[in-house]
Copies of this chain bind each other. A is one copy, B any other.
Amino acid sequence: MFIKNAWYVAARLEEVTDKPLGRQICGEKIVFYRGKENKIYAVEDFCPHRGAPLSLGFIEDGNLVCGYHGLVMGCDGKTISMPGQRVRGFPCNKSYSVIEKYGFIWVWPGEQHLATEDDLPVLEWAESKEWAYGGGLFHINCDYRLMIDNLMDLTHETYVHANSIGQKEIDEAAPTTRVDGDHVITERHMKNIYAPPFWQMALKGNNLATDVPVDRWQICHFHAPSNVHIEVGVAHAGHGGYHAQEDKKVSSVVVDFITPETETSHWYFWGMARHFQADNAELTAQIKEGQGKIFSEDLDMLEQQQQNLLRYPNRKLLMLNIDAGGVQARKVIDRLISLEQVQNIASDQIPSVNLQ
């Protein structure tokens, strides 16, 4: 089950080139392409003529052309033309609202009349010169909610990422979780500890001493439908931790957009935005490479966890304090899905009311 009436990251901007991109999102097969006025459009990836995937086609004069028999699809899902044919009666494809912003292509897979740019998250780090961003994309064969669980309970770092960002003190610092509407926050603060290797690299990158105690923080934010941003950082101990001055800390935001593909697979857009040395491209590349390696350590665990859950469908999982972030995030998701179902029933009833 997915929230459908929401913006999801569909692709990294550089993925949609002069060729169409076919991608399944929340169970819908969609083709994305750069068309008229250099804008991105998205329609169902199904040619109304004979069912060929439009994503095997090409762009001509800003329109998407089916690569099988030349049907020209409009950005509104209506067929524009086809060689030697009148196309007025052709069935209409679903078209999708798309926004190109913050370096991503965003898509609204649900009811299109509900799509509004106002609902797009505001990502300050993506528009400010004081921030640098690097990231990538993984395809993972597990329920997108297992990835949300993963990111909202960072005690796994101690085990899965023992050699980079994990450290025993994470386990020892109990997190606090609170819910604010569709926003879930789980945070953890560790004082007077030693920075693990990844953060030592970051301290060094920001010209800060690495051999002194630090305060470390992890503030995980879940936002519906399935975005997780994590404020992470270390400051030289005794300078206020999260609130320390810029020259005493290194901090960044782990930026994760988790886009369902099917019930048991998802697209994982991972990245990191940082607020120091923003114009150091070499450091950006170094962090991206490190983060890519670290995040790839989760893949096998997540995919085998999914297989285990499919195999033991009746076995209940525990919901401990460390799981509170994921548990609350799932509650938000469930509530919004229920709301969509109620809205669908309500909108189905409107016409019958009108008939009276």
Contact = CB atoms under 8 A, between A and B. Distances in A.
Contacts of A315: 46, 51, 91
A53 B304 contact: yes
B49 A90 contact: no
Given A56-B301, A301-B56, A171 B50 contact: no
B51 A171 contact: no
Interface in A129-161: 149, 153, 155-156, 158-160
A50 B304 CA distance: 12
A50 B85 contact: no
Nearest to A318: B49
A160 B46 contact: no
B318 A159 contact: no
A297 to B, nearest CB: 10
Contacts of A65: 159
Interface stretch (A66-74, A194-202, A230-238, A253-261): A66-74
Contact of A153 (B29, B69, B320): B69
A339 interface: no
Contacts of A156: 68-69
Interface in A60-90: 65-70, 82-85, 90
Interface string A273-309: 0000000000000000000000000001100110111
Contacts of A300: 56
A156 B160 CA distance: 49
A323 B84 contact: no
Contacts of A70: 155, 158-159, 171
A271 interface: no
A33 to B, nearest CB: 16
A318 to B, nearest CB: 5
A318 B69 contact: no
A54 to B, nearest CB: 10
Interface in A315-356: 315-318, 320-323
A144 to B, nearest CB: 15
A52 interface: yes
B323 A50 contact: yes
Interface in A75-129: 82-85, 90-91
Contacts of A316: 91
Contacts of A149: 50
A305 B50 contact: yes
Contacts of A56: 300-301, 304
A45 interface: yes
Contacts of A57: 159
A56 B297 CA distance: 11
Contact of A84 (B45, B67, B312, B322): B322
13 contacts: A29-B311, A46-B308, A53-B305, A56-B301, A57-B159, A67-B159, A68-B156, A69-B156, A69-B159, A69-B322, A70-B155, A83-B171, A90-B318
Given A49-B317, A85-B321, 16 more contacts: A46-B315, A49-B318, A50-B305, A50-B323, A52-B304, A52-B308, A53-B307, A56-B301, A56-B304, A66-B159, A67-B160, A67-B301, A68-B305, A83-B155, A84-B155, A91-B315
